[in-house]
Amino acid sequence: MELLVLSFVILVLSGLCALFSRRFSFLSASCGPIGAVAASLCGLAAAIPALSSAPQTLALPWSLPGASFSLKLDQLSAFFLLPLFALCICAAVYSLRYVDKRRSESFFLFNLLAASMALVLTASNAVLFLVAWEVMTLVSFLFVVWDGADGESRQAGWTYLVATHIGTAFLLILFTLAWSRAGSAEFDAFPKAFQTLPFGAVAALAVLGFGTKAGFFPLHVWLPKAHPAAPSHISALMSGIMIKTGLYGILRMLTFCPPVPQWFGWLLIGIGIVSGVLGILLALGQHDIKKFLAYSSVENMGVIALGFGLGYAAQAQGRADIALLAFAGAFLHVLNHSLFKGLLFMAAGSVAHATGTRDMEKLGGLLRLMPVTGTCFLAGAAAISALPPFNGFISELLIYLGAFKSLPGSGPNALAGLAALTALAIIGALAAACFARAFGTAFLGLPRSAAAEHAHESPRQMTIPLVLLALLCLGIGALPSFFGRPAFTAAAALLNIQTQVPLPAMLFSAGWAGLSLAAVALALWLGRNLLFSGKKISSMPTWGCGYAAPTPRMQYTASSFAQPLLSAFGLNLKVKLEPVSGLFPRQAGFRSDAQDMARTRIYKPLFELVEDKLGLLRKIQHGSIHAYILYIAVALAFALGWALL
Amino acid sequence: MMELLLILILLTDVALCSTGRLRVLVRTAAWQGFFLGLLALCKGFTFHAATLAAATIAVKAVIFPYILNRAIRKSGTLTEPLPYVSYNLSIVLCALMLGLCVLAADRLPSGQWRMAASIGFFTMFTGFFLIITRRTAFSQVIGYLALEGGIYAFGLSLWQEMQVEVEMGLLLDVFAAIFIMGIVIYRISSEFEHADTARLDFLNDSEEYD
Amino acid sequence: MTALADFLIALALAPLLPGIINRVKAFFAGRQGQSPFQLYYDLLKLLRKGAVYSTCATYVFRLGPVIGLAAMLGALAVMPGGSGDALHNFDGGIIFFAYLLALARFAAILAALDTGSSFEGMGASREALYSALAEPPLFVALAMLVKTTGGLSFEAAFPDAALLGGTPRLLAAAALFLVFLAENCRIPTDDPNTHLELTMMHEVMVLDHSGPDFAFISYGAALKMWVLGALTARFLLPFGPGFELRQEALFLAAMFAIALLTGVVESCMARLRLNRVPAMLLAALALSFAAFVTA
């Protein structure tokens, strides 16, 4: 616990140092990231032992009503802290060279963001939690509008602020209800309060409130706008950790109201299927490389929700063995997704940094120019597509096992398991297609524009974090019996199993299978090289069907690649076509976009309706300061009158 | 044997959902009628069962297809134009309906005939589905047939001894209905040069069309 | 030991399957046809050759065939043959199997995109589409197996498949045969004999590979056909573990029967229109779903 507090202190102090060092030199602000690395190491040193020990608490008084500065570090918090601090180290190192303007402010806010997220994960008082939650939201909002010159990022910031505060409003209701029933805002008093509330209400408020942060479909609309707009190391933190805090919130609330009924498990499975399938389909339609990654985060949150849903459904049926597998898979996927999504966002940031564009249709051939970044992106792509021997495969394997094991016997759980695993299969295949497409168009083939032609490899400070994350992805995939331990501990804690659970033997075998696969591939590679020794190897242009003057612009584009897949799944691209016409045609154009059905079908009509109905209220808002003061006076008089009555 | 027949009926239902070629639809519906007829014999080979099977096969697998094929030939419509739900989606919805029907039939206390009940439900819903989502009168007639087939299979699963009279009455109703529809379709298509029921709504006397 | 024997038999006999298919097609066309051992000769010849690489190819292109073949060897290692034993078994082996197929596809798609050819990109896109649609029927069929047997590896699940009635097994095998056709790029989803780049799918993705690389790809494709054939066959033949000559013979006969059937299908059917292929794979899904609910 002391180490955790120490890490908070270091984060804030080094952030302040960075903020006030702007006058001195370009380098002096670097104390921010260096402090972040040190604090993260401290935090890891606090979190890793906490995984296997009894919960530690700390309570300090605070003058706000109901509030106290009380922290609790139990297995659930500790598990979520792992990816937070691991990713913070990498993002901080990456930011040293990535951030080139307003460094002091950026580093300060980065540390503040890290500290607020750690506080959200460990706060044990509702007021403290909400304060940390709000700081986290506001700081990330500042990052979303960081490059706020263009209207797009302003709009993204606006959407983000509105969406996330609507979510927070639900949380306020939930916490106020609990507070008024329990008479205390301490989380420790909440279980008693939740017993007097209907579970449906608690679940609905938690899912709506925290689900907005977690990016569940259709509450995700802010996510694909806000994440790409932020600087890339912040996108990595937002997609890697911040959306997981929403999930953490749901899990935390559920620990207050056991037993979780079966229907809630099915609800989570449903949310997971919808978020997963639609998220990955929408990702497939994007050609902005960061937007595409943001949609893929929606998909991965879906997979995680699916895992937890399977776990709760099995737990309610008394099948702790299945629940353990599903929970462990979901927890491991939380960790894995932080690692590979962080990696991918930072690699995409390097690409945008080197080429000046995030549009996949303008990239190409970057693997030759940026070999390290490209290879790391490839590793991340394989990992997120759940391909062996990477880590994504292990976590999805565990979730699959949870689904498969709930099949025997009939009844709704079997059908839920079937639905879950069918959805996982579709998601898996589409994710592989999606990431093959992204890597293929951005890094393979030939450069499609001058910007991509003149790209350069990023400096070492930006590549080392990527390599580190890629190695972690590979390591977890190859040694799941070692890295899977924390996930199983957290899962056991969620199931209230106090003893050390044995790891399933399949975890070891799966790792061994991945390793032997790598060994076979290596052997084949050596054999291939042996076959080639002494043979004639020549180089020719790609076969172009006999066409004599091919240009790089003729390569298959990302949109063309996605089109058959999208239309087969009933999602049509919105195509804008300026056709070629006349004898001397002017320049023609073609553009396609995948439209988010949540935006066009749900929010747009909804907000138009609201705007329509609330248009009358505009009359009140006319800019006259006298009238505004009058409103305030009337409100005050009303409040006073209320109090007197 | 019964299991095999039920599976075949299930497959014909899936096939009905997945195509818009009217001749294929009629042929599939005929096969379905044939399998349904055989299903009656699975309860034991009695005189009643044999009569029922013979009548069902004669009506559903021979007479109806003949009438429908004749109507199709005369109307010149060979495929279903633009159904309200695409064929691909139809197959998926069909699979979902099957899942629901199995779940629903699980609650019935019908013992070893539970599978017949679930397939019966499923066939009924396939019928509803066809009537709702297809445009031409032919497909709707076939949906109607499937609906009746589903009721028949479900009835078989419920009663120890099938009341032949009930089933015969039902069959007669459907026979009359199909017969009349065959004539009507023929009339519709000769009168309006198409058999698209969605386009018959201009016959209503609301003021929009005056 | 018997597992190793099965593994070696598969390695040795896999290239025979395309040969048989070609022979059947030749028979239907009234031709003499090439020797069923043609692929062996081709492989030997390719392995002795050098290679031509595209000027824009990176290591991803060179690695593609290697990863593809390694994945297929891995898939073969978890799939039991005639003896009922597999080389590597663990709970979740069936999922490992499916994801190895995905890995091979991922490598092939990337290698195709690495050439910068629009034809290869087109082929890659269609391959991705078909595989995405072929995945659900495969998984639902596996789910049916697990639902009845509780085994999460092929070796554990297949022997107990005898508990299943004949009809669900038949339905699942039919669904898996459709998946087999789609995954192996046979008619009615893809035509291995087409000679127009625009209409090719799998073949166009490997246009730029040559020499030993192409040998790896052809051999990998033969192995893929073998493992998916074995999967289909073993749904129908639920053997117990251990070696028996009768089982082995039955299994091999079933494999060749599947090749024969593929040849017949290829000779009697035309290729489906691109936008009708999803309907076929959805029908496979409906079949395996029917198998699941009736099992």
Tell me the pLDDT tens digit for each residue of C117-142. Answer: 888 999 999 999 999 999 999 999 99
| CB nearest A415 (choices: B86, B89, B99) | B99
| CB nearest C90 (choices: A510, A524, A531) | A510
What domain count does chain B have? 1
Q: Does C110 touch chain A (CB under 8 A)?
A: yes
Please, what is the average pLDDT of chain C?
Answer: 90
Query: Nearest CA to CA, how far is A551 from chain C (Å)?
Result: 10
Q: Does B103 touch chain A (CB under 8 A)?
A: yes
- Asked whether residue B210 is assigned to any structural domain, the reply reads no
> Among A266, A273, A277, A415, which would you mutate to test the B interface (most chain B Cβ atoms within 10 Å of its Cβ)?
A415
Residue of B nearest to A413 (CA): B103
pLDDT single digits (tens) A47-87:
999 988 888 888 888 888 878 889 999 999 999 999 999 99
Q: Which residues of C touch B (CB under 8 A)?
A: 165, 167, 171, 278-279, 282-283, 285-287, 289-290, 293-294
Q: Does C213 touch chain A (CB under 8 A)?
A: yes
Report pLDDT for B209: 43
Mean pLDDT of B10-38: 90
pLDDT-derived band of residue A26, with 50, 70 and 90 as boundaries? low
Identify the bridge partners of residue A60 per DSSP, sorted by sequence position. A69
Partners of A310 on chain C (C-beta within 8 Å) are none
pLDDT-derived band of residue B176, with 50, 70 and 90 as boundaries? low
Interface predicted TM-score (ipTM): 0.95
DSSP B149-171: HHHHHHHHHH-SS--HHHHHHHH
- Asked whether residue B122 is assigned to any structural domain, the reply reads yes
Identify the bridge partners of residue A125 per DSSP, sorted by sequence position. A186
Please, what is the average pLDDT of chain A?
Answer: 90
The runs of H, that is alpha helices, within A533-624 are 558-568, 597, 604-614
- Asked whether residue B77 is assigned to any structural domain, the reply reads yes
Partners of C148 on chain A (C-beta within 8 Å) are 408
- Asked whether residue B207 is assigned to any structural domain, the reply reads no
A207-211 long-range Cβ contacts below 8 angstroms, 24+ apart = A207/A250, A207/A267, A207/A271, A208/A167, A208/A170, A209/A167, A209/A168, A209/A169, A209/A170, A209/A171, A209/A173, A209/A174, A209/A249, A210/A167, A210/A171, A210/A246, A210/A247, A210/A249, A210/A250, A210/A253, A211/A167, A211/A246, A211/A250, A211/A271
> Among A406, A542, A560, A572, which would you mutate to test the C interface (most chain C Cβ atoms within 10 Å of its Cβ)?
A542
Distance in Å from the first CA to the final CA of chain B: 59
- Asked whether residue B205 is assigned to any structural domain, the reply reads no
Residue A618 has pLDDT above 90, yes or no: no
Q: Does B86 touch chain C (CB under 8 A)?
A: no
pLDDT single digits (tens) B46-87:
787 888 888 888 888 898 888 888 888 877 778 877 788 888
The burial of B165, by beta-carbon neighbours within 10 Å (0-12 exposed, 13-18 middle, 19 or more buried), is given as: exposed
Partners of B99 on chain A (C-beta within 8 Å) are 415
pLDDT single digits (tens) A448-470:
998 889 899 999 989 999 999 99
Between the CA of residue C185 and those of B53, B156, B165, C139, C192, what are the distances in Å? 44, 44, 54, 19, 7
Greatest mean pLDDT range, A32-36, A207-211, B165-169: A207-211
Higher pLDDT, C201 or A129: A129
| CB nearest C283 (choices: B6, B10, B14) | B14
Query: Nearest CA to CA, how far is C28 from chain A (Å)?
Result: 31
pLDDT single digits (tens) A297-336:
999 999 999 999 999 999 998 888 999 999 999 999 999 9
Structure tokens at A164: 């996330």
- Domain borders along chain C are 2-294
Contact criterion met (CB < 8 Å) for A510 and C92: yes
Amino acid at C142: L
Q: Which residues of A touch B (CB under 8 A)?
A: 410-412, 415, 568, 570
pLDDT tens, chain C, 295 aa long: 788 988 999 999 999 999 999 999 999 999 998 999 999 999 999 999 999 999 889 999 999 999 999 999 999 999 988 887 888 888 889 999 999 999 999 999 999 999 988 889 999 999 999 999 999 999 999 999 998 888 888 888 888 777 777 778 888 999 999 999 999 999 888 888 887 777 788 888 888 899 999 999 999 999 999 999 999 998 888 777 777 888 889 999 999 999 999 999 999 988 888 878 888 999 899 889 888 887 7
Partners of B89 on chain A (C-beta within 8 Å) are 570
Chains A, B: CB contacts within 8 A come to 9
Residue A404 has pLDDT above 70, yes or no: yes
Interface of B with A in 78-97 (CB under 8 A): 86, 88-89
Q: Which residue segment(s) compose the domain that B127 sits in?
A: 2-197
CA distance B76 to B189: 9
| CB nearest C74 (choices: A405, A439, A520) | A520
